[in-house]
Amino acid sequence: MAPSKLETENHTRDAEFNKAMHKNSSNAQGGFSAMMKKDKAAQKAATDEYFKHWDNKTAKDETLADREARKAEYATLTRHYYNLGTDLYEYGWGQSFHFCRFAYAEPFHQAIARHEHYLAAKIGIKDGDKVLDVGCGVGGPAREIAKFTGAHITGLNNNDYQIERATRYAAKEGLSNQLNFVKGDFMQMSFPAESFDAVYAIEATVHAPSLEGVYSQIFRVLKPGGVFGVYEWLMTDNYDNDNERHREIRLGIEQGDGISNMVRISEGIAAIKAAGFELELHEDLAKRPDATPWYYPLAGDFKMMGSPWDFLTIARMTWWGRGITHKFVGVLEKIGFAPGGTQKTADSLALAADCLVAGAKEDLFTPMYLMVARKPLK
């Protein structure tokens, strides 16, 4: 169920903070170039606000009250996570902030695009459809799916900086006529009922404090007969919250990925049904017998690299690649080139990477639980 009280939206406040922290960095090339352009005081405020939920909180001592506090501030937590992490994501991963399956010798960015195409195909998105991308990031998947299908896509995002970057990238690729990006909280969407022919979410609704809550909003804005497809982050049903090791993995993923409350597969399935959908397909794609596992880039395993062009992406995730980034960012902070909190954020992302790999290897976590569901006709 959704929280009894959702966070009050304040777009004016968010826009002012975005301008203060990011200034004109949304026009930068991305990555380190954008990182260097932040306001130090605003970045510190974002760092303090985000990490108050994680500092000095361990899996051993975690309480239900800790999780409820994160859920109560789900929108602020997610917004500041991406205020801090977006440039690091673009530097280390690209403009599509999600994982994917890998075919034999498949290059990284080709596999990312194929994962997006697969979801669009399963949903049945067609040329001219009006589609909603829930939690669109900087618009990488929206641009790819728009080109693949010919659909008109609206990206919903509660982070102003990402919206600015998504809008810029769409214009650069000549896709402004197919794409638009809207500020909003996916737990309380402002779109009229029955606005969209199809809706998708790629590893984004995990940020919701309640999957039933966000799925219910998607159900409301989807036209009767329309289809919703999602790649959901879920703990598997092997996850045992009474097991401290399991909690360490979950908490590390949540901290490093801005998640207030991750749940099990069975709870995700129950949530989409409770929202009113007819579930037509569901499968953990991480269970497919792929020779190359989805997490190999995080593990920094060059043996599984599909293309020499992927070298830098994989190198950044090796222990020495992370070490170089840690030290380099630390030096930049000390000499005043990078704002405080950049190194702490990078370290948090590295912790998440380790926990994601551990969660996969121990069959406790999946980032690609596929659900395709239809809103019944009236």
pLDDT of 31 over the 90 cut: no
Residue 18: the pLDDT is 96
Coil, strand or helix: which one is 187? coil
Coil, strand or helix: which one is 227? strand
Digit-coded pLDDT (tens) for 300-314: 778 777 778 788 778
Residue 34: the pLDDT is 84
Digit-coded pLDDT (tens) for 131-141: 999 999 999 99
Residue 299 confidence class, pLDDT cut points 50, 70, 90: confident
More confident residue, 295 or 28: 295
Residue 4: the pLDDT is 57
In angstroms, the CA 127 to CA 218 distance is 21
Residue 67: the pLDDT is 93
| Six-digit token string for 52 | 């108050």
Pairing of strands 365-374, 278-284: antiparallel
Average pLDDT estimate for 341-362: 91
Average pLDDT estimate for 336-358: 87
| Six-digit token string for 341 | 């909190």
Residues linked to residue 228 through DSSP beta bridges, in sequence order: 199, 373
Q: How confident is the prediction for the chain on average, in pLDDT?
A: 93
Query: How far lies 28's CA from each of 15, 159, 343, in Å?
Result: 18, 17, 20
Q: Are 268 and 371 in contact (CB under 8 A)?
A: yes
pLDDT of 1 over the 70 cut: no
Domains and CATH numbers, the chain: 18-96+293-361 (no CATH), 108-240+263-290+363-374 (3.40.50.150)
Residue 339 confidence class, pLDDT cut points 50, 70, 90: confident
Digit-coded pLDDT (tens) for 172-185: 999 999 999 999 99
Residue 335 confidence class, pLDDT cut points 50, 70, 90: confident
In angstroms, the CA 305 to CA 328 distance is 25
